[in-house]
Structure 1
């Protein structure tokens, strides 16, 4: 019986090492993937010396990753697959470096896209010198928003809730919120918040209650995706990963929609005193 480590081919590791030791090898192989390139164009693109370029092209030929054509060098089907698989791995490693510990905020069981799509991400954290900076940033983002979607089990700060309500009431924003049943129960017990939620729904916001576990807190604000810190003991609900990557945005929208389809839509009456008392009596 072999372990996963033992099952890794030494030849495969050698191929990975060959590419990873030289940015020029990656650049050349990616260039050839887009079509035939004469050596002169490759020289301009890589800024490599002619001798370096010729050596790399010879090595790529020997590995079966590139071949000569009448119009210049081009990748073979094998070479095209090699660079197609290699680039996301390298970019994913860069994403992990960028995210650091925040990579744990991503939902493993629901993340159907690769980490390489987070290479442009920013991790926004609170600091002792600016404890409200990220909450302020989120508030400003919401004030400019026209479309707001969320899947969450955490309650927004009152200032953010007021901004959400105002934007929908004034017709500047459409909103779809999928909340856990625990969160809905928590909100109904907050008399300082329930009027805002009731007015929010009355103005056209669509709020849904999901009766089950939600693995992450995802907010899609126009073109921006925010994935919040999901550690309940962190004490920092306004820490989040921010990205405008199109693939991440599509994933976030689809994830929210998946949970929405399996949720119950709430009415304004959900956030009334009578509804709260009825829920307490039922429980």
Structure 2
């Protein structure tokens, strides 16, 4: 994509050469684990040759060649009279974006069947933030295993804020049990238009959430008039569960993530929808 954009800027061939040069520079880094390792080390702090040798398995000759190549390309520069090296300003940008690219590729490799179904256009965080997340019980024979993880997190946590577009009743059952046994978990849930319809049309579910609200003497469940592309559960302001439907089979997939950017996004989005929602009980009143 970058090469295409650069090529479109000029018809005289100069930008094609620039694009090829940029691609070659990326390939130069990707071809050597040692080059990336040196950049990673210098991203933390400046280092001497001896310190770099002590933290890599590169030989003295190999390390000298790596440092020379990186300096020639403008990624690093010497400091303190050539006794140490540090990233250049350009090198800092290249390292940051290269790590981001590697993480994004890792996400795609980790979740090859799931990443295309994630609503990335809805996210305002980089997909690479999900690189250390967990695909909850993806290989379990129990189709409700992942939902049980969320239900247990709600029961064991102190707070849960949810925006629900893919419904499973297990979290509601777990919260009902928590309320019955005197638990004090603070739960607030916003249902999208599709799930709201389910809540209103199913007598057993309607009885359950009304019973919970009577017991807590508060509004727990809200209704929003729009559909949402996936369910977001934020537990204790620390852990986000993203639930997406499967394409060609029943059930859903859940990703658990604690990256600060993902947590901040989830908190903001849930708050925005909550501010626009009305109590679910009001929907019942309007329907009768």
TM-score past 0.5 threshold: yes
Task: Identify the range of structure 1 (128-137 vs 246-255) with the bigger mean alpha-carbon deviation.
Answer: 128-137
- In structure 2, the residue matched to 1:124 is 136
Structure 1, unpaired ranges of 5+: none
RMSD: 2.4
Task: Give distance in 2, aligned partners of 1:108 and 1:199.
Answer: 37
- In structure 1, the residue matched to 2:127 is 115
Query: 1:253 and 1:32, CA in 2 relative to 1: closer, same or farther beyond 3 A?
Result: same
Query: 1:77 and 1:160, CA in 2 relative to 1: closer, same or farther beyond 3 A?
Result: closer
Question: Which of the numbers 157, 166, 173 marks the counterpart of 1:162?
Answer: 173
Tell whether 2:257 aligns with 1:243: yes
CA contact (8 A) 1:210 1:262 kept: yes
Task: Give distance in 1, aligned partners of 2:92 and 2:78.
Answer: 14
- In structure 1, the residue matched to 2:13 is none
Q: Deviations over 1:74-131 (max 9, x none)?
A: 1111111111111111111111111112113321221111111111122235558433
How far apart are 1:148 and its partner, in Å? 0.8
Count, aligned residues = 271
- In structure 1, the residue matched to 2:11 is none
Structure 2, unpaired ranges of 5+: 9-15
Query: 1:205 and 1:162, CA in 2 relative to 1: closer, same or farther beyond 3 A?
Result: farther
Question: Which of the numbers 46, 68, 87 marks the counterpart of 2:78?
Answer: 68
- In structure 2, the residue matched to 1:23 is 33
Q: Deviations over 1:13-46 (max 9, x none)?
A: 0111011111211121122233321101111122
TM-score by length of 1: 0.86
CA contact (8 A) 1:36 1:72 kept: yes
How far apart are 1:4 and its partner, in Å? 4.4
| SS of equivalent residue, structure 2 residue 203 | coil
Task: Give distance in 1, aligned partners of 2:259 and 2:140.
Answer: 30
Question: Which of the numbers 208, 227, 234 marks the counterpart of 2:249?
Answer: 234
- 1:6-155 aligned within 5 A: 6-7=7-8, 9-70=19-80, 71-125=83-137, 129-155=141-167
Task: Identify the range of structure 1 (245-254 vs 74-83) with the bigger mean alpha-carbon deviation.
Answer: 245-254
TM-score by length of 2: 0.84
Moved beyond 4 Å, runs of 4+: 2-8, 125-128
CA contact (8 A) 1:227 1:240 kept: yes
Task: Give distance in 2, aligned partners of 1:193 and 1:42.
Answer: 62
Q: Deviations over 1:217-270 (max 9, x none)?
A: 111123321111234763104x21122222211211111112222222344x65
- In structure 2, the residue matched to 1:185 is 197
Task: Identify the range of structure 1 (203-212 vs 41-50) with the bigger mean alpha-carbon deviation.
Answer: 203-212
Task: Identify the range of structure 1 (104-113 vs 58-67) with the bigger mean alpha-carbon deviation.
Answer: 104-113
Task: Give distance in 2, aligned partners of 1:3 and 1:79.
Answer: 23
